[in-house]
């Protein structure tokens, strides 16, 4: 199958002028893959793996997919100056930024109104990228710069500061309609809830009665059941309930005074009434979402000796997709690397498109996805998502070479 660009339907250059080279994607069914059997009825087969430079590829996707992608995750070359085994990661700063801008402008067009863009970078380019991205998306659509702890041990050989984190920049296409999910409650969160007084409402934990918000009725003395008198709230704070409301809650058994009736009264917070999950914060620790070592271990388990230098851990992608997509939503990764985004999206029942210009598209992504689809990948988030196999993808490549003016981000690795 060929996806042809309709005349006049793209032309997303920096100045909005029409571009010259039409991009055509051609399917190669030999390289496409689907699970044996008919699947479960919920299987997704129309995922796309596209081999080629992402600039013409993204342009070719516009006629079909403008405004339809729910979540974009990209992990582009960080421009560190390193020569990795599968790609070189060092171009002149202004060139890198300009190439990223061209791609981000098209990515924005592909995003649905309520979509999110997540971008991982490090200190080499993150701040410059943010300024550029603010221009493309508008500053009001910047959501957060999340700190992901990618490393957990100190590097003694670091010249000044031992770097431990990456930036994950999050943008909304339109912040007014963006929804970000919650992080599911863990057994550890729930352990805080007990029921020492056999409250028929179930498990609860003590909450604070004092708050910082000024409240004119919240300054009274309290006499505990033990007889102890608490003169008032701590300095600079106020009781959050009036005297009458506190008495009412106490009469219903919803205030905890400690087992001897001598504590500062604590309103009970019931597990049943708290939200399904917690609001995500801007710090993501390695033990919650994985680190670089976890990611390399996942690749090692999949490919044995055949390493990939810069993969992301599956748990990191699981969190991102959980927060910004629902089953069936379309996810795009235009810098696919070893294919982590597609593998995780597949296991989570999301539809996906991945683009990769290096040979890792064939040496890593295809074998990885075949294992996922055939139910042979037991690692990463397979157990957490309950994944057993199924679905498929279609493989496409660019029919025409990219025009010379669209030099790729990150030079291809030189053969030695
Ligand atoms: C940091 S890696 C991505 C790793 C990936 N997140 C993973 O978990 O494996 C960046 C990838 O982007 C690819 N890349 C760089 N420039 C590209 C371009 N212009 N078009 C398509 N892919 C590109 C590189 O070949 C490399 O595989």
CATH of the domain at 314: 3.40.50.150
- The total domain count for the chain is 2
Residue reference for tokens 């991945």? 354
Task: Tell me, yes or no, whether 344 lies in a domain.
Answer: yes
Ligand 1 is surrounded, with C-beta below 6 A, by 53-54, 75-77, 86-87, 308, 310-312, 335, 337-338, 340, 355-358, 360, 408-410
pLDDT of residue 402: 53
Domain of 325? 2-8+25-182+277-398
In this structure, are 248 and 288 located in the same domain? no
In this structure, are 246 and 101 located in the same domain? no
Task: Tell me, yes or no, whether 71 lies in a domain.
Answer: yes
Task: Tell me, yes or no, whether 416 lies in a domain.
Answer: no
Residue reference for tokens 């075949």? 370
In this structure, are 333 and 201 located in the same domain? no
Q: Give dist(CA 387, CA 134) in Å, integer.
A: 37
Cα 386 to ligand 1 centre (Å): 28
Cα 210 to ligand 1 centre (Å): 51
Dig out the tokens for 162 from the structure.
């031992």
Residue reference for tokens 């006049």? 8
In this structure, are 262 and 301 located in the same domain? no
Q: What is the mean pLDDT of the chain?
A: 89
In this structure, are 207 and 154 located in the same domain? no
pLDDT of residue 69: 98
In this structure, are 162 and 287 located in the same domain? yes
Instruction: Please give the residue that has the higher pLDDT: either 83 or 197.
Output: 197
In this structure, are 361 and 392 located in the same domain? yes
Q: Give dist(CA 360, CA 336) in Å, integer.
A: 9
pLDDT above 90 for 277: no
The pLDDT tens digits of the residues spanning 109-139 come to 999 999 999 999 999 999 999 999 999 999 9
Task: Tell me, yes or no, whether 17 lies in a domain.
Answer: no
What are the distances in angstroms from CA 190 to CA 272, 276, 288, 290, 329? 11, 11, 16, 22, 30
Cα 75 to ligand 1 centre (Å): 7
pLDDT above 50 for 94: yes
Among the residue ranges 16-25, 306-315, 317-326, the one predicted with the least confidence is 16-25
Q: Give dist(CA 293, CA 19) in Å, integer.
A: 42
Cα 43 to ligand 1 centre (Å): 27
pLDDT above 60 for 16: no
The DSSP line for 280-295 is P-SEE-HHHH--HHHH
Let me know: does 354 contact 325? Beta carbons within 8 Å. Answer: no
Q: Give dist(CA 112, CA 205) in Å, integer.
A: 40
**Site to substitute for ligand 1 among 357, 364, 413, most atoms within 8 A of C-beta:** 357
Cα 253 to ligand 1 centre (Å): 58
Task: Tell me, yes or no, whether 130 lies in a domain.
Answer: yes
Average pLDDT over residues 252-280: 92
Q: Give dist(CA 89, CA 101) in Å, integer.
A: 17
Q: Are strands 330-333 and 351-356 parallel, antiparallel or unpaired?
A: parallel
Query: Cβ-count burial of 104 within 10 angstroms (0-12 exposed, 13-18 middle, 19+ buried)?
Result: buried
End-to-end C-alpha distance for the chain, whole angstroms = 36
């Amino acid at each position: 199958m060929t996806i042809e660009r309709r005349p006049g339907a793209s032309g997303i250059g920096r100045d909005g002028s029409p571009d010259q080279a039409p991009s055509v994607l051609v399917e190669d069914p030999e390289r496409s893959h689907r699970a044996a059997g008919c699947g479960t009825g919920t299987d997704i087969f129309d995922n796309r793996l596209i081999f080629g430079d992402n600039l013409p590829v993204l342009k070719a996707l516009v006629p079909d997919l403008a405004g339809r992608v729910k979540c974009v995750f990209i992990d582009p070359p960080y421009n560190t100056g390193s020569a990795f085994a599968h790609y070189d990661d060092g171009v002149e700063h202004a060139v890198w930024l300009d190439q990223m801008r061209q791609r981000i402008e098209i990515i924005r067009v592909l995003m649905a109104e309520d979509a999110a863009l997540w971008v991982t970078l490090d200190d080499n380019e993150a701040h410059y990228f943010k300024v550029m991205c603010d221009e493309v998306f508008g500053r009001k659509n910047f959501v957060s710069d999340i700190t992901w702890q990618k490393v957990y041990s100190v590097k003694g050989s670091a010249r000044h500061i031992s770097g431990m984190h990456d930036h994950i920049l999050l943008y909304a296409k339109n912040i007014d309609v963006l929804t970000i999910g919650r992080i599911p409650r863990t057994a550890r969160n729930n352990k805080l809830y007990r029921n020492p007084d056999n409250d028929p409402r179930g498990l609860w934990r003590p909450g604070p009665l004092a708050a910082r918000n000024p409240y004119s009725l919240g300054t009274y003395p309290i006499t505990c059941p033990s007889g102890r008198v608490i003169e008032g709230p701590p300095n600079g704070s106020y009781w959050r309930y009036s005297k009458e409301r506190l008495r009412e809650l106490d009469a219903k058994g919803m205030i905890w005074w400690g087992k001897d009736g001598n504590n500062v009264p604590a309103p009970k917070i019931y597990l049943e009434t708290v939200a399904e999950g917690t609001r995500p914060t801007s710090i993501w620790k390695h033990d919650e979402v994985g680190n670089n070592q976890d990611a390399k271990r996942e690749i090692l388990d999949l490919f044995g000796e055949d390493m990939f230098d810069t993969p992301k851990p599956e748990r990191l992608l699981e969190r991102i997709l959980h927060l910004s997509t629902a089953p069936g939503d379309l996810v795009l990764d235009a810098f696919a690397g070893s294919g982590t985004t597609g593998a995780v999206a597949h296991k989570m029942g999301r539809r996906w498109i991945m683009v990769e210009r290096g040979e890792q598209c064939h040496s890593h992504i295809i074998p990885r996805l075949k294992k996922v689809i055939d139910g042979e990948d037991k690692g990463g988030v397979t157990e957490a998502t309950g994944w057993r196999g199924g679905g498929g993808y279609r493989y496409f490549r660019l029919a025409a070479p990219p025009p010379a003016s669209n030099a790729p981000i990150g030079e291809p690795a030189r053969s030695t």
